Amino acid sequence: MSSALDELRFYGTLAATLLGPRYDLGRVPGPPGHPLLGNITAVMRPDYHVQMLEWANTYGGIFKFSLGFQPVVVVSDPAVAVQVLGRAPGRAIPRKCVGYKFFDLATNASGAHSFFTTSDEGQWAAVRKAAAAAFSSANVKKAFPIALRHLLLVAESLDPAGPHTPGNPYLDLTHHSQQQHQQHQRHPQMQKGDGAAAARMSGGDGSEAAPAGKGDSSSGAASSRWLWRTPDLNWMRSGLSLGFRRRSRSRPGNSTAAAKPASTPPGSATTSTGATANATHAADAAPSASSSFVDLGSSCVGADSSASLASRSSSPSATASAPCSCGRCGANSPRRAVAAATATADTKGGGAERTAAAPAGPAEAEELAAGGVGAGAPGAAAGGRSIHSHPFDCGTDETSSVDETPPHATAAPAAATCTAPAGAGSGSGSATDAGTSASGTIDAESSTGAGTSGNPSGGGTGGGPAAVVDIQEHLELSLLHVFVEALFGVTPEDFPGRQVAADMNLVLEEANSRLKVPLSGLARAVTQPVAQARIRAAQVRLAAVYGSLYDVIRARGPQPEAVTDLWACLGRVRHPRTGELLGRQGLVPEIGALMMAGFDTSSHSVAWALFALAANPEAQQRVRQELDGRGLLRRPGTAAPPRLPVLDDLPQLPYLNACIDEAMRMYPVAATASVREVTEPTRVGDFVIPPGVIVWPMLYALHNSVHNWDQPDVFKPERWLQSNAGGSSSDSGGSSSKGGNEEAGVAGAGGGGAGGARSAAANDEGSGGAAGGLGGGGSGASSRSGSSAALGAAAAAAADGGGGKGGGGGKRYMPFSDGMKSCLGQALGLMEVRTALVVLLGRYAFALDPGHGGEAAVRRSMIMSLTLKIRGGLRLVATPLG
């Protein structure tokens, strides 16, 4: 229904545009296009943001192109971008968010608009206002220990040779990366994301089994591979775009992949243990050669999953979960008994690394203990349960206790030090006492680095063995876990993280594809019945997960205003007109929108920063020095772990934060967000635009245009360290900062009020989110300022975005967008990014996997899948420091 309406609306707009009065659209510069297809062929490339940037550099800060008959005006002029995004009362650009063309697909199966995509301001305001309270600095503070705990587990997992916290959910990803790395080395064509090669590797019939131990993660691979071979989808690609290839996340995998999981055995002992682990994984491999995405989902996500999650999360069980034995989902295979939460609690320790003589201050100790930081497992905070990244309700009995030593523990050379008792199935700790850890982890932290061989990069700064890891994948999963745990109070064991991540990646890719081809609604249904069925299945699974979270909210009952966790805030949202609490139908799309918004934004931002630092070793070295200065670096030659960071550390690292700013400038993950459609004649810069035209403030072009930045393609963190370092050039924004003229019949789009290059105004994000959105304007506030304030006000100089070409007003740096629909999760996201980098860079030296073919090749592998990411993942060589 909504798709039919979309089509109707499109043709109405088209007719109005063709037959209606003439506007300035014809004067807007832009690339010539095909009379029928417009510029579709040019943007039908996975890195279409690069095409947009090329056009911006050529045609300036406002240019147009067309998708078929749909005209699109792209804005990268800082002043005009702020005006388009901002919202001063009475001067707002009347517009709709065109997200419903693509984003709703990703957030719910019913086609209902969330507040993210709705044109109903009542709905948007109600949800945004409610949710904004959840992103206050107080809540970011609460989320910090959760993020830290997961990121420490990620850090631990990057060293396949080290002892590991039992049940570390990220370790499988490392092993999978290792397998892939080996396969890449044997079959170099795989590195290019060659789908055909993937097919050959896997037998070529699309029936490859999931890689051992990959579980639902591999289902994402299966779906991606499947997409590759779907002829009807290829019609869309190859028919319209010569040479276009989608190489997203092709994860070659077959049953033989299990034969050699570890590519970097640090020594003979590890080699043999690696083989042990390997064999174990082989045993865990999905047994069915026809194992596929849909098979996984349909067999492991039951219809009553909602109730299950609700009951589990609202009533934390004291019984340790045992891994799934279904043999298909692969998550926590039967051989991977997870006993982390049952490890002997050290109520004074509060954390793996901290107990190991880490000089954590008392405040930190309290905070970490309360949040369960350093717990043996993320699930520990909820009463000592184990991690179970598994599609819930797979139909297996998860309460049986399995007393079996995890193979990872045996795989590690220092396994003897990993003394976590396995499988004692009755951990009954509170959040506080569960926040302690197996002592094995302590030793893990202090004993890694013993190995010296097996470094695939042949170098590195540390003494330990290096591993090649797909860091993008680790970060996606871990920060998804942080999202559900911090914002919904659901422990990862109760959440099918891998399946959700795989499904989200799938629907986001599809949504992104629809964004580029607006006329495809009907065409897709006719030409891609099978592909659409798969995507539909992913949507349905995701809807079930969102529904489960809805059940969690309702099962916990109404909460007083003082409870500002996201789940509680959402539970209080009322319908803007009826005043009724939102029911399932109303709230599920909102939950989906929030999860989508927080899913891969932070994780990909971290991945891009790591990429930039891996490609710029001097900058990385300088970050290490800075971390060392604060005791946050594991020093070479010492076994002692670094001090655990506290929240206050984060803004006190100017160089690291400059690197983050610079990485987010060059690679703004939400690069193409903020697509809007004007609904009445509107001035955009010097041009009056007719209704129906899409106006697109393109963050990627804004951040990388030669009109806005000096040497935009050079990674220069220093530009953020100099206050007033703006370039002398003032060619940006100048022409279009004449704000506020409201001609008769023309809505004012020249709102002005864009406060300089970037003011360092600092809002608390909690109120700032609401105020920025509901109070309108906000154009004078730095897009980063709110989070800076929430985190302790980073250097004001950094907030000014030096090195730009200023003078015309507006902002040339807004990775979190700006104005009424700017990022709600900015403070949370930035905290996650900073924490991740402190934890990872304090423990590892990162280099690009040579298999990537160098920095330029990685940059060429950038794809826009609603967020900017690296096709096939970002493989880094992680060398433990110490």
Binding residues for heme: 823
Please say which residue, 78 or 598, places its beta carbon nearer to ligand HEM: 598
Residue nearest ligand HEM (C-beta atom): 825
Least Å from the CB of residue 213 to ligand HEM = 28
Q: How far apart are CA 471 and CA 373, in angstroms?
A: 21
Using CB under 6 A, which residues numbered 742 to 801 contact ligand HEM?
Answer: 773
Residue 76 in contact with ligand HEM, rule: CB under 6 A: no
Q: Which is nearer to ligand HEM, 115 or 228 (CB)?
A: 115
Q: Map the footprint of ligand HEM across residues 479-518, applying CB under 6 A.
A: none
Residue type, 569: C
The answer to the question of residue 605 lying near ligand HEM (CB under 6 A) is: yes
- Whichever of 463 and 769 has its CB closer to ligand HEM, that residue is 769
Contact stretch for ligand HEM (CB under 6 A) within 16-24, 167-175, 322-330, 818-826: 818-826
Backbone phi, then psi, for 553, in 5-degree steps? -60, -45
Long-range contacts made by residues 118-124, C-beta under 8 angstroms, separation at least 24?
A: 120/576, 122/576, 122/577, 123/576, 124/821
Residues of this chain, 820-839, that bind ligand HEM according to CB under 6 A: 821-825, 828-829, 833
Q: Least separation, in Å, of the C-beta of 226 and ligand HEM? A: 29
Residue type, 45: R
First to last CA, the chain: 60
Among residues 55 and 816, whose Cβ is nearest to ligand HEM?
816
Q: Considering the complex, what minimum distance in angstroms separates the CB of residue 308 from ligand HEM?
A: 24
Residue nearer to ligand HEM on the CB measure, 95 or 312: 95
Q: Is 601 in the site for ligand HEM (CB under 6 A)?
A: yes
Q: How far is the CB of 798 from ligand HEM (least distance, A)?
A: 16
Cβ proximity to ligand HEM: between 601 and 708 the closer is 601
**What DSSP element (H or E) covers 417?**
none
What is the residue-wise DSSP string for 203-267? TSSS-PPPPTTTHHHHHHHHHHHHHHH-HHHHHHHHHHSTT----TT-----GGGGG---S---S
> What is the smallest separation between the CB atom of 277 and ligand HEM, expressed in angstroms?
33
Q: Which two tokens stand for residue 57?
A: 């550099």
Give residues 673-732 in contact with ligand HEM (rule: CB under 6 A): 673-674
Q: Comparing C-alpha atoms, which of 254, 258, 257, 299 is closest to residue 277?
A: 258
What is the rounded (10 degree) CA torsion for 24, 50, 103, 12? Answer: 30
By CB under 6 A, residue 144 contacts ligand HEM: no
H-type alpha helices, 252-361: 268-284, 293-300, 305-314, 352-355
CA–CA gap between residue 795 and residue 720 (Å, rounded): 9
Q: Which one among 63, 116, 488, 667 touches ligand HEM, defined by CB under 6 A? A: 116
Can you tell me the distance from the alpha carbon of 423 to that of 441, in angstroms, rounded to the nearest whole number? 16
Q: Which is nearer to ligand HEM, 40 or 698 (CB)?
A: 698
- Written as one string, the DSSP assignment of 2-24 is HHHHHHHHHHHHHHHHHHS---G
Nearer to ligand HEM, 236 or 824 (CB): 824
DSSP state letters, 178-214: HHHHHHHHH-GGGGGT-HHHHHHHTTSSS-PPPPTTT
Q: Which is nearer to ligand HEM, 128 or 408 (CB)?
A: 128
User: 119-138 mask for ligand HEM (x: CB under 6 A)?
Assistant: ---------x----------
Among 33, 316, 815, 851, binds ligand HEM (CB under 6 A): 815
Among 333, 602, 616, 763, indicate the residue that binds ligand HEM (CB under 6 A). Answer: 602
Phi, psi of 581 (to 5 degrees): -60, 140
Rounded to a whole number of angstroms, the minimum distance from the CB of residue 817 to ligand HEM is 4
Q: Give the number of C-alpha atoms closer than 13 A to the C-alpha of residue 170, restricted to the C-beta side.
A: 31
Residues of each annotated binding site: 823
What span, in angstroms and rounded, lies between the C-alpha atoms of 360 and 355?
A: 9
**What share of residues in the chain are helix, strand, coil (percent, to 5)?**
50, 5, 45
Question: Which is nearest to 298 in space by CA: 329, 327, 253?
Answer: 329
Which CB sits closer to ligand HEM, 489 or 851? 489
Closer CB to ligand HEM, 669 or 721, in the complex: 669
Query: Exactly one of 102, 813, 816, 846 binds ligand HEM (CB under 6 A); which one?
Result: 816
Residue 597 interacts with ligand HEM (CB under 6 A)? yes
Angstrom distance (rounded) from CA 297 to CA 329: 8
Closest distance between ligand HEM and the C-beta of residue 297, in Å? Answer: 24
Helical segments of 285-405, H only: 293-300, 305-314, 352-355, 362-371
Cα three-residue angle 607-181-842, rounded to 5 degrees: 40
Largest CA-CA distance found in the chain, in angstroms, rounded: 80
Nearest-approach distance from CB 345 to ligand HEM, in angstroms: 31
Residues 609, 837 contacting (CB under 8 angstroms): yes
In whole angstroms, how close is the CB of 48 to ligand HEM at the nearest point? 16
Candidate ranges 142-150, 580-588, 599-607, 790-798; the one touching ligand HEM (CB under 6 A) = 599-607
User: In the set 594, 614, 838, 862, which binds ligand HEM (CB under 6 A)?
Assistant: 594
Of the candidate spans 348-356, 512-520, 590-598, 834-842, the one that interacts with ligand HEM by CB under 6 A turns out to be 590-598
Residues in a beta bridge with 676: 97, 695
3-state secondary structure 642-703: CCCCCHHHHHHCHHHHHHHHHHHHHCCCCCCCCCEEECCCEEECCEEECCCCEEEECHHHHH
Task: Give the binding range for ligand HEM (CB under 6 A) out of 401-409, 579-587, 784-792, 811-819.
Answer: 811-819
Nearer to ligand HEM, 535 or 827 (CB): 827
Nearer to ligand HEM, 282 or 774 (CB): 774
Number of residues counted as binding ligand HEM (CB under 6 A)? 24
Shortest reach from residue 844's CB to ligand HEM, in Å? 21
Residue 622 within binding range of ligand HEM, rule CB under 6 A: no
Q: Which amino acid is at 846?
A: F
CA distance 421 to 403: 9
Stretch that binds ligand HEM, among 278-286, 293-301, 744-752, 809-817 (CB under 6 A): 809-817
Based on the shown chain and the rule CB under 6 A, indicate whether residue 101 belongs to the binding site for ligand HEM: no
Looking at the Cβ atoms of 439 and 657, the one nearer to ligand HEM is: 657
Shortest separation between residue 316's beta carbon and ligand HEM, angstroms: 24
Query: Hey, which residues between 307 and 346 contact ligand HEM (CB under 6 A)?
Result: none
Q: Annotate 448-475 with DSSP letters as a single string.
A: TT------TTS--SSSSPPEEEEHHHHH
Per-residue contact track with ligand HEM, 642 to 681, x per CB under 6 A? ---------------------------xx--xx-------
Give the neighbor-by-neighbor strand order of the sheet with 844-848: 467-470, 875-880, 844-848
Q: How far is the CB of 824 from ligand HEM (least distance, A)?
A: 4
User: Binding to ligand HEM by residue 881, rule CB under 6 A?
Assistant: no
Q: Does 817 contact ligand HEM by CB under 6 A?
A: yes
Which residues, including other chains, have CB under 8 Å from residue 302's CB and lie 6 or more apart?
308, 392, 393, 394, 395
Q: Is 302 exposed, middle or buried, given 0-12, 13-18 or 19+ CB atoms closer than 10 A?
A: middle
Q: Please, what is the minimum distance in Å from the beta carbon of residue 773 to ligand HEM?
A: 6
Phi, psi dihedrals of residue 804, rounded to the nearest 5°: -95, 175
The answer to whether 747 and 765 are in contact (CB under 8 A) is no
Stretch that binds ligand HEM, among 260-268, 600-608, 609-617, 872-880 (CB under 6 A): 600-608
**What is the smallest separation between the CB atom of 571 and ligand HEM, expressed in angstroms?**
16
What is the contact surface with ligand HEM in residues (CB under 6 A)?
Answer: 116, 128, 594, 597-598, 601-602, 605, 669-670, 673-674, 773, 815-817, 821-825, 828-829, 833
